[in-house]
Structure 1
Amino acid sequence: MDKFESLRAFVQVVESGGFAAAARQMDLSRSAVNKLVMHLEDDLKVQLLHRTTRKVTPTATGIAFYDRCVAILADLKEAELAVSQMQQEPKGRLRINAPMSFGTLHLAPALTDFLLQYPDLQIELTLSDRFIDPIEEGFDVTLRIAQPPEAASLIVHKLVVAHRVVCAAPSYFEKYGIPTTPTDLKDHSCLHYGHFATSNQWTLTSADGHHTVTVQGVLCSNNGEVLREAALKGLGIALLPTFLVGGDLQQGTLRQVLMDYPPRQISAYVMYPVNRHLSTKVQLLTEFLKARLGDRPYWDDAV
């Protein structure tokens, strides 16, 4: 029995969470996938998977072996690509997941230019602000604007710093005054991201350290464009990334405050499973986005 096929079956079962899902991914029968994994366990004389009627999970040994398998299969893929020289002509489908606002405003125009450069590619773009598991949901590339996860099964590249600012409409400040310290925000209507109960703390920094403030307001949302629209209407102060509000700051429809207390930095990251790290399509897209955004992204020119 092919050892590499057994390794592929084991990796696919772990990533899919079960034999049936792995069989669909590999276009094999469930029994065939089970035999491949059992052959691997017999050969190694260890149990790699816990099997129940409801789910399949790796044992402690299986988790460690999974990481090694992923690296081995990635090296094999590199050798195959080198022989076939497929990297010269990237083809096929590329599944991408990205945040909603960044995706519509900045990733979408970038991807259209990318497709013009590589016309044999097909891109499937899914936009969602939900934090997803790239491996479980089968994405080749995931973009996130947050702290990247620490996972041995993912490769993470920083693309660019996503600067954020505290801002509101001039009409709001005319009516309610301008905060001069982070503590002043407690007396203002603040439009914040996420949920009222869990995401209403803003952390700003200064020479004397971090300042964490619990804010309150009339609106919270899991989408930055919603908060931007509310800020433009004078409903409150928002903490938003410049890729959303750079143009508003330049035009004066939003005004930045608390410049001496910048928010903690976050960055845009591209992530992909280890077993995609030798994919020509993934590498080309990563380098394209790095070049497109640069050290100082174009949207910050407006700030």
Structure 2
Amino acid sequence: MGEMTTGGMKMESMNAIPVFVAVVEEGSFAAAARRLGVTKSAVSKRISLLEAHLGVQLLHRSTRKLSLSEAGEQYFAHAIQSLAAAQDAADAVAQLQGAPQGRLRINTPMSFGRLHIAPLIPDFLAAYPGVGVDMVMDDRVVDMVEGGFDLAIRVRTLEDSALIARKLAPCHNLLCAAPSYLKKHGTPKHPHDLQKHNCLQYAYANKIHTWRFEETNNGDVINLDVTGSYQVNNSEALREALVAGVGIARLPTFIAGADITAGRLVPLLPDYKLPSQIIYAVFPERRHLPAKVRVFIDYLVEKIGGDQPYWETYFNLY
């Protein structure tokens, strides 16, 4: 790239900073390459050029892992600050541009993303042709900063104070089963009746084998230990088993709503509430919120937002 310099540092070294940071955060050249969308050899070459330019070894390489040298630790601390400053500068410039643009990296839970975010993407891309979307669906909660995400959808209580949240909709949960299961095994009238039933489990739930119920009229709380023949880490897979008549389970209304409306699932114990959460759009705190993030959040609020989301329109909760 020639001998162009900025503050005494060649442009090759400047371009190497995000590569170096990715290698350190991911722990390997291969993982950094996947994150950056380049080849492993390109990452290795860039780091070697950076070390040659600086005249010092930044990384200790072994067959098992990479580790930072003392010089590498110093360089990494400044590299992180450099990246943050560069991102802030890019966000500030983006605010001056007329139309949102750039790559928008989104993290969303698997089922909610597939059912309610993915269908919105085509119209969003048509409305904002300067924006590209990279969406990763995963039911595990990931670190947004380490994953390089601009925005995440979270269906739970927020725990990370470094994130800014905007409420999209409530996430209500229902106890339900298929008519075929109820015809064969009977309909529970009280939470304690569930101990006689096949209670299916969502593996990522808190206290998956203890179900909490709150009586609607007086607020009394019942914590009940239940068992069942099936446990799975995906809510749509759990829904498949329910519709097939395998047992009883807790499902969020954003998954069960269409089946309840169609009569494929029946809500149970109407006098008792299950714990609910809130669906948030969250993003890392920044001095300048990129336009691509702002317009996407506004788009989600328009399409999903409200105290009664569209997937609950055709039935009463309690």
Instruction: Give the C-alpha shift of residue 282 in structure 1.
Output: 0.8
The answer on whether the counterparts of 2:169 and 2:309 sit within 8 Å (CA) in structure 1 is yes
- Name the stretch that deviates more: 138-147 or 224-233: 138-147
Give matches, 1:151-166, under 5 Å: 151-152=161-162, 154-166=163-175
What letter matches 1:239 in structure 2? R
The answer on whether the counterparts of 1:97 and 1:139 sit within 8 Å (CA) in structure 2 is yes
Give matches, 1:94-133, under 5 Å: 94-133=104-143
- Name the stretch that deviates more: 196-205 or 162-171: 196-205
Instruction: Give the C-alpha shift of residue 19 in structure 1.
Output: 11
Identity among equivalent positions (%) equals 38
Instruction: Give the C-alpha shift of residue 127 in structure 1.
Output: 1.8
Match of 1:184 among 184, 193, 203: 193
- Alignment partner of 1:267 is 2:278: yes
Instruction: Give the C-alpha shift of residue 147 in structure 1.
Output: 2.1
What letter matches 1:190 in structure 2? C
TM-score (norm 1): 0.75
- Alignment partner of 1:149 is 2:162: no
CA-to-partner distance for each residue in 1:182-219, whole Å, 9 max, x for gaps?
22212211111007996222222223333222221111
CA-to-partner distance for each residue in 1:139-192, whole Å, 9 max, x for gaps?
22221222223242x322221111111111122222222222222212211111
Does the residue aligned with 1:135 lie in a helix, a strand or coil? Answer: helix
Query: Which residue of structure 1 aligns with residue 93 of structure 2?
Result: 80
- Alignment partner of 1:299 is 2:308: no
Closer/same/farther in 2, CA of residues 171 and 276 from structure 1, 3 Å limit: farther
TM-align CA RMSD = 4.1
TM-score (norm 2): 0.72
Match of 2:225 among 191, 211, 214: 214
Instruction: Give the C-alpha shift of residue 22 in structure 1.
Output: 8.6
Match of 1:92 among 99, 102, 108: 102
The separation in 2 between residues aligned to 1:66 and 1:297, in whole angstroms, is: 43
The answer on whether the counterparts of 1:190 and 1:236 sit within 8 Å (CA) in structure 2 is yes
- Name the stretch that deviates more: 65-74 or 217-226: 65-74
What letter matches 1:192 in structure 2? Q
Closer/same/farther in 2, CA of residues 208 and 12 from structure 1, 3 Å limit: same
List alignment gaps of at least 5 residues for structure 1. 35-50, 58-64
The answer on whether the counterparts of 1:277 and 1:283 sit within 8 Å (CA) in structure 2 is no
Query: Which residue of structure 2 aligns with residue 285 of structure 1?
Result: 296
Larger Rg: 2
Match of 2:265 among 254, 264, 273: 254
Match of 1:205 among 200, 205, 214: 214
Q: How many residues align?
A: 289
Instruction: Give the C-alpha shift of residue 276 in structure 1.
Output: 8.6
Closer/same/farther in 2, CA of residues 17 and 185 from structure 1, 3 Å limit: same
What letter matches 1:173 in structure 2? L
Does the residue aligned with 2:147 lie in a helix, a strand or coil? Answer: coil
The separation in 1 between residues aligned to 2:23 and 2:237, in whole angstroms, is: 40
